[in-house]
Structure 1
Amino acid sequence: MMRLIDITEENWLEVIFLSTSKKLPTISEEFVASNALSLVQAQFEKTWTTKAIEKDGIIIGFTMYGYAEQQGYYELCRIMIDYKFQGNGYGTEAIQLIISEMKKIEDCNDIYLSTDPENSKGKRVYEKIGFINTGKLVDGEELFVYSF
């Protein structure tokens, strides 16, 4: 079973060492900011929720979502699955869990996300779930929206 869990004193170190590549995590990975950077960002920008992604008792990923004040919309800002667990459909399952959580936010009717134009695998997953490419670029990334 997959679930979103709080990042705590007991698991924060495990979360920041998750990586999308076999190399040590860096501040900016290939298609996503590091989990450490995201956790710091969420400390100062209070509109973000950070969660670890757990599958069968093992932390396999990380997400950050909430209200993007600068842009004025709700956003799935970060989603990553550790390289050891990729290719199993866990990203799709995690995004669906996140959407379920974001639907509980009273004034959230759309969820935005952006990704590097080179992230073809990610874009396929987003579109399969129901995100639509808006045709807009935000900071050089393609903007997608999921409406409900």
Structure 2
Amino acid sequence: MSLYIKKVNKENWREIAGLEAAENQKAFIEPVSFCLAESFIEQLTTSLGLYAGEKPAGYAMVGFYSDEKRSIWFDRFMIDYRYQGQGYANQFIPLIEAYIHEHYDVEIIRLSFVPGNSQAERLYKKHGFARTGAYDPKGEIIMEKRL
């Protein structure tokens, strides 16, 4: 099945807003509808729909680009509960990194995760991210990948 990323826009926002995390993961990420609103209102991030064939399978947000630091945040990432357990997270992370490389001149990709979300930490470590020892203002653990 073909996997691809499509920027969220007026044509696809409703199908992306309908994506949901699994019940046991909802404490680790805001609802997609909140993320979309934040992205569109603040305009500091870009919302991305993650597609498996013609179906939306996940959501990601990138942004808070710093030209001075040549860094960007891979700020949100989730696979819809209906698509979990099929390897999509591992397949989409390289596609998101490719999207970042195509649209931004960066040396560092940063992300954060909620303490206790060991599944997310394992996933990000597998893709070359490492803890920085720092926490964001919400108390989330910061990881980064130097390119």
Q: Indicate how the Cα distance of structure 1 residues 85 and 106 shifts in structure 2: closer, same or farther if over 3 A, else same.
A: closer
Structure 2 distance, partners of 1:106, 1:41, is 21
In structure 2, the partner of 1:112 is 110
Q: 1:95 to 1:140 in 2, by over 3 A?
A: same
CA contact (8 A) 2:7 2:46 kept: no
**Root mean square deviation of aligned Cα:** 2.0
Equivalent residue for 2:56? 59
Q: Which residue of 1 aligns with 2:123?
A: 125
Match of 1:49 among 31, 46, 49: 46
* Separation in structure 2 between the aligned mates of residue 99 and residue 5 of structure 1, nearest angstrom: 14
For structure 1, the 5+ residue unaligned runs are: none
Q: Provide Cα deviations, 1:84-122, integer angstroms capped at 9, x if missing partner.
A: 111111112111111111122443110000001111111
Cross-structure match for 1:83: 81
Can you give the 5+ residue segments of structure 2 that lack an aligned partner in the other structure? none
Aligned residues: 142
| Map of 1:144 onto structure 2 | 143
Which of 7, 32, 36 is matched with 2:33 structurally? 36
* 4+ aligned runs moved over 4 Å, structure 1: none
TM-score for both structures, normalised by structure 2 = 0.87
Q: Please say which of residues 132-141 and 109-118 is displaced more in the overlay.
A: 132-141
Deviation at 1:76, TM superposition (A): 0.5
